[in-house]
Amino acid sequence: EDEMKTAQANLTRTEMAQPALGAVMAGLWAWLLRLGLRPDLAAGHSYGEYVALHAAGAWPLETLLQLSEARGRFIVEAAEGGELGTMLAVAADRASVQTLLGDLTGITFANHNGPSQLVLSGHPADLEVARQRLDSRDIAATPLPVAAAFHSPLVAPARERLAEFMAEVEFQAPAFAVYGNADAWPYPSDPNAIRARLGEHLVAPVRFMDEIRAMRAAGARVFLEVGPKEVLTRLTRQILGSEPHLAVATDGSGGGMIGL
């Protein structure tokens, strides 16, 4: 039992969690390829963008895992030199939250995940002020157990090291369109341009709602979530609403392969 608890604790550490997630998602992807799945385009959420690029052939599995470990380790090591903040999930639309919190400094709208699903990044004290103000308006706000204020200027200390690491990594042009979190637009084919965009990805907000809408505008109608649970599937259904589409998760409908 103690060993299990230790293993679970280790998996929540960023430098462990990211390659572990990468291994799960890449393993599911390899299996789906054996079933004959051939996507037209792809996207990831936050770290998942790395796996989406792997799926499109930008780099092999070994490189994905090396990048994943390095990304997590650089964030953790940067945190040892100072406060890297935390995150707060908010169940409300962006306009309402901006109106309520617009005068607060030090807070970044890190994730725009859906019509009524946001994540804020910032220092713990600043986010606590935001949480109290949101609570006064009966807006649900939940602190997230994360190692840093991802997708905000607070994790910038890790960006340079990540850029240096990626400079030594061989990149290939994606075989199909991979939509990016930062601008909701497909990645370019030039390896140096891919490196530059990934360097900014660490600190840029995640525009997941814009991403899904851009993919549908490009012709996507079937959205398959490749990874644990079905959070992105639920968000996609919320984003697209009554627009014709199908969203399904490999790990949905009770877990395992039931959803698929």
C-alpha span between 150 and 257 (Å, rounded): 30
Over the stretch 115-140, which tens digit does the pLDDT of each residue have?
999 999 999 999 999 999 999 999 99
Strands in 141-144's sheet, in edge-to-edge order, are 107-114, 117-122, 86-90, 141-144
Q: Which tokens belong to 30?
A: 């390899």
What is the reported pLDDT for 17?
84
Over the stretch 180-228, which tens digit does the pLDDT of each residue have?
999 999 999 999 999 999 989 999 999 999 999 999 999 999 999 999 8
Q: Which tokens belong to 124?
A: 């713990």
Over the stretch 136-168, which tens digit does the pLDDT of each residue have?
999 999 999 887 899 999 888 888 899 999 999
Residue 87 has pLDDT above 70, yes or no: yes
Helix (H) or strand (E) holding 224, with range, is strand 222-225
